[in-house]
Amino acid sequence: MLFLLIKIVVGTNTISYIYNATGQKVSKIANEATNITQTNYLAGGFQYQTMYCNFSHMLRAM
pLDDT tens-place string over residues 4-57: 889 999 999 999 999 988 888 899 999 888 788 888 888 776 777 764 444 545
Of 46, 3, 40, nearest in space to 25 by CA: 40
Residue 18: Cβ within 10 Å count: 14
What are 14's strand-pairing partners? Answer: 9, 31
Q: Report the pLDDT value the prediction gives residue 52, as an integer from 0 to 100.
A: 43
